[in-house]
Amino acid sequence: MRLLRGLAVFLVGLVGTIILLDFYISQTMLDEVGRTLVEWVTILAALALVLGLINLLRVHGARVAAGRSGWPYSLALLGAVIVTLVIGLGPGSGGANDPALNWIFTYIYAPLNAGVFSLLAFFVASAAYRALRLRSAEGAGLLIAGVIVLLGQIPLGGQLSPALPDARDWLLGVVGAAGARGIIIAAALGAVLTGLRVLFGIDRHYLDKDQ
């Protein structure tokens, strides 16, 4: 088992190192090998979609079979998946651009998806209503910035004062961008550390059975 685990760590480290070197070094053979390995990733990513679908069917199918709480919703989900799959993959289907599939996407999926996401407007409004309060100096700063951005985003703000859109641009482009840079750099450093942990098998060991 240890030998297999060591082999797994070695393979992962080797492949990761090749792709990393390919990013920085321009060399024909390295480019070819790196590109091939990355193309395998896209194939695996497509396969992951299939695995996700299989897992979805398995989990919700088990819920329906066992009659657990929420099984009618699982049954509805399974029905929708099967109908869509049959329309998209069945005989005579036009594939991804099939008219029936497009109808489902345009008149069922898209409006539902947009409707659920539109609920965010109310949650954001409630959060802003609670957060933008004059409780402290920092709160006052947040309040002023929030008001400037809210007014600067709409045409009315520009009509009230040309300074409002400029102030909004300054807040987002200077103050906000400075914070964003810090977050991006920190996230990148975190990604490097996480990547090194994965490459060297420091985190979850490969091939370990679940406990």
Site for other proteins in 26-55 (CB under 8 A): 35, 38-39, 41-42, 44-46, 48-49, 51-52, 54-55
Q: Is 56 in the site for other proteins (CB under 8 A)?
A: yes
Scanning the structure block, which residue is given the tokens 């008001």?
147
Stretch that binds other proteins, among 3-11, 78-86, 122-130 (CB under 8 A): 122-130
Tally of residues, the chain: 211
Check residue 132 and report its DSSP letter.
S
Least distance between other proteins and beta carbon 33 (Å):
13
> Residues 65, 180, 192, 196: which binds other proteins (CB under 8 A)?
180
25 binds other proteins (CB under 8 A): no
Q: What residues between 71 and 90 interact with other proteins by CB under 8 A?
A: 73, 77
Q: Which is nearer to other proteins, 3 or 121 (CB)?
A: 121
* 177 binds other proteins per the rule CB under 8 A: yes
**167 binds other proteins per the rule CB under 8 A:** no
Total Cβ atoms within 10 A of residue 157: 20
Q: How many residues bind other proteins (CB under 8 A)?
A: 86
Using rule CB under 8 A, residue 132 touches other proteins: yes
7 binds other proteins (CB under 8 A): no
Give 151-203 as a DSSP string: HHTSHHHHHH-THHHHHHHHIIIIIIHHHHHHHHHHHHHHHHHHHHHHHTT-S
- Note whether 74 and 63 are within 8 A (CB): yes
- Binding to other proteins (CB under 8 A): which residues in 95-114? 95-97, 102, 105-106, 109-111, 113-114
- Using alpha carbons only, how large is the chain's radius of gyration in Å? 26
Cα within 13 Å of Cα(139), Cβ side: 9
CA gap 85, 53 in Å, rounded: 11
Regarding 91 and contact with other proteins (CB under 8 A), the answer is no
Indicate the residue among 13 and 56 with the shorter CB distance to other proteins. 56
CA atoms of 25 and 20, how far apart (whole Å): 9
Q: How far is the CB of 56 from other proteins (least distance, A)?
A: 6
